[in-house]
Amino acid sequence: MGHPSVHPTGVTIYNPEKCFNGYTIFPANEHGATLIDMNGGVVSFWKDFQGFPNKLLKGGYIMGSLGERNVLCGYQDQIDLVQIDWDGNIVWKFDKHEFIEDPDEEPQWMARQHHDYQREGNPVGYYVPGMECKVDSGNTLILTHRNCYNKKMTDKKLHDDTIIEVDWEGNIVWEWKCHEHFDEYGFTNGAKNALYRDPNMTPAGADWMHINSISVLGPNRWYDAGDERFHPDNIIFDGRETNILAIISKETGKIVWKLGPNYDENEATKKIGVIIGQHHVHMIPQGLPGEGNILIFDNGGWAGYDNPNQFSSTGNKAVRRDFSRVLEIDPTTMEIVWQFSPAEMGHGMPFHASHFYSPFISSAQRLPNGNTLITEGSDGRLLEVTSEHELVWEYISPYWGKQMPINMIYRAYRYPYDYVPQLEKPEEVAIERMDNTTFKLPGAKGNEPQRVIEVAGTKGYGESVGFCVQKDE
C-alpha cells in the first residue's frame, strides 16, 4: 500500500496529561544528532554527529560516532565511538579495536562499532529510575565487527559480529565472537544449507547473523528467584538475519536462553508466531512497568534461512510478513504479555496492515509511566502509546537524506528534562488529533456532495449483503 504524497511533519498528536514528558534524541538521517521537546521543537542539534544510535547521558552528554568506514570495505562500520559534552567537546573516545589498512585510504585505528553499545551503570541505555550511565568512568559494552572464516558454516569470508567490553582507558577486557557458537543456535539442516550457499553477502563479507542490539540484563526477578539463565551480567542480543533472540552467559559465552529460529518447536512459540527481522531486543529493567519481560520490535519484512521456497530461491530471507509488531514476552513461559500491532491501532486486518510497518531498523522503549515509545523507523515515525494502546504522542521526521532519500530514524530515546540542566523546561502545548475526514489544505473542497441521487432498491452498506471484515485475533 502506498502513502500520501502530502503529509505533516513534526509532532501531530500530543496529550501532555498522558505522556512521559521529556526530551527525545534521535539520529536525523544524514543530518546529525537531534534533540527535540514534546512539541517537536529542536532544542539542540549536533551537525553531522552520527548515531548508531545516539544516546543522551545525564548532564547533557551525548554518545555517537564521528565517521563511517567506506561501505565497500566494512559494511556499517563506525570509525569510532565517542562521548561529547553539551558543546560538542570530546570527553571520551574509543577506536582501538582494529588497525585498518583499506585500499586508497589512510591506515587508521577503528572501533568498527555498529548498531549498539551500553555504558556501565545502566543496562539498556535509556532512562531507568536510579540507573544512570556513568559519564566520567566505567566500562562500555560495544557491538563490533571482525572478519574471519568458519568453514563449518560457509567458505565465504564472514563479516562477523563481535561483542567487546572496554574500560575507560580503552583496554579490551572481554570479548565474545558470534561465529564460534554456530552449533548452539539450533539451525535446521535446511537452514544450514541455505546459509552455506548464501550467508547474506555484502561487499565486506557475509553479514550472516546481523546482530543489531546488545544489552546486559541487569537486576531482575527471575535471577532473584534462582534462575541462573538470567544472571544480571548476562547479555541479550538479537540476530536480524536469523530471526533469533538469545541470552549469552557472560562467564562462559554459551547460549543459555533462546527464542527462534524455529517457531514451531512447541505450543508456546507457535502462539507467538514467527518473529522476523527483529530489532532492539532487551529485558525491561527493574523499576519499570513490565520489569523482567523481553521487549522487542518484531519488524516483519523478510529474514531467516530455510529450504528454498516461493519467497526465496536460495533459502535466504525465507519467511515474510508485511506488518510490524511490538511484543512484550515473559521469558520463562514464552507468553505474550502485551503487544502493539496494526490491529491494536484500530486498522482493519489484513487490509490496513501496512499502517504499522517498518521492515528494517526501529525500536521500543518502556517508559516509567507504563507507556511505550516506539520508533517505526523506516518512515521516520515516533509513537508513544499507553498500555491500553492509546496513541498519545506522534512525531514525523522532516529530515530526508540525499544519498538515501528517506526520512528514516534508526532508534529514538526519551529522557527526563533534568538530563539536560543547560536548558529550562520547555512549555508543553497539547495537540489534538486531527480528523482526517475533514482536514483539507487551502484550496481543496469539502466532502459534502453538490447533488445526492437515491437509487431504487439499494441497501445500506454492509446491510443484508454478507459484508464482513475478518478480525485478527
Judge contact between 103 and 132, C-beta under 8 A. no
* pLDDT number for residue 181: 98
Domain ranges of the chain: 12-419
pLDDT at 144 over 90: yes
Residue 471 has pLDDT above 60, yes or no: no
| Contact criterion met (CB below 8 Å) for 155 and 269 | no
Q: What is the pLDDT of residue 1?
A: 56
Rg of the chain taking only CA atoms, in angstroms: 23
CA distances to 147, 416, 429, 447 from 59, rounded to whole Å, are 37, 11, 25, 52
Tell me the C-alpha distance between 369 and 373, whole Å. 11
CA dihedral 16, 19, 25, 31 (to 10 degrees): -60
Decide if 247 contacts 211 (C-beta within 8 A): no
In which residue are the cell numbers 531507568 written? Answer: 128
Report the candidate in 106, 122, 53, 120 with the shortest Cα–Cα distance to residue 81. 53
CATH code, 12-419: 2.120.10.30
Nearest to 393 by CA among 382, 407, 380, 402: 382
State the average pLDDT over residues 342-354. 86
Q: Which of residues 87 and 7 earns the better pLDDT score? A: 87
Cell of 102: 583499506
Asked whether residue 472 carries a pLDDT value surpassing 80, the answer given is no
Is residue 330 predicted with pLDDT exceeding 80?
Answer: yes
pTM of the model as a whole: 0.96
Strands 363-366 and 372-376: antiparallel
> Does residue 368 have a pLDDT over 50?
yes
Q: Tell me what the pLDDT averaged over the chain comes to.
A: 95
**Cell numbers that stand for 453 in this block:** 441521487
The residue to which cell 517508559 is assigned: 367
Dump pLDDT digits (tens) for 50-84.
Answer: 999 999 999 999 999 999 999 999 999 999 999 99
Amino acid type, 110: M
Question: Residue range 85-103: average pLDDT?
Answer: 97
- Residue 232 and residue 245: Cα distance in Å, rounded? 17
pLDDT band (50, 70, 90) for residue 464: low
**pLDDT tens sequence across 105-136:** 999 999 999 999 999 999 999 999 999 999 99
User: How many residues are present in the chain?
Assistant: 473
Cell numbers found for residue 175: 570479548
pLDDT value at residue 462: 62
pLDDT band at 348 (very low <50, low <70, confident <90, very high): confident
| Buried-state track 58-82, b at ≥16 Cβ within 10 A, e below 16 | bbbbbbbbbeebeeebbbbbbbbbb
Q: Residue type for 26, please?
A: F
Strand 235-239: give its sheet, edge to edge.
211-216, 235-239, 244-248, 255-259
Q: What is the 8-class DSSP label of residue 353?
A: G
13, 15, 397 from 388: Cα distances, Å: 17, 15, 25
Question: What would the grid cell of residue 251 be?
Answer: 562467564
Q: What is the pLDDT of residue 458?
A: 84
Instruction: For residue 376, give the nearest of 264, 299, 287 by alpha carbon.
Output: 299
**In this model, does residue 461 exceed pLDDT 80?**
no
Backbone angles phi and psi of 294, in degrees to 5: -95, 125
Distance CA 307, CA 105 (A): 41
What does the pLDDT look like over 377-412, one tens digit per residue? 999 999 999 999 999 999 999 999 999 999 999 999
* Residues 416, 407: Cα–Cα separation, whole Å: 25
pLDDT at 352: 83
Mean pLDDT on 417-443 = 95
Residues 6+ apart with CB under 8 A from 78: 50, 52, 65, 67, 68, 69, 110, 111, 112, 113, 114
Choose between 33 and 5: higher pLDDT: 33
The C-alpha cell at 345 is: 491501532
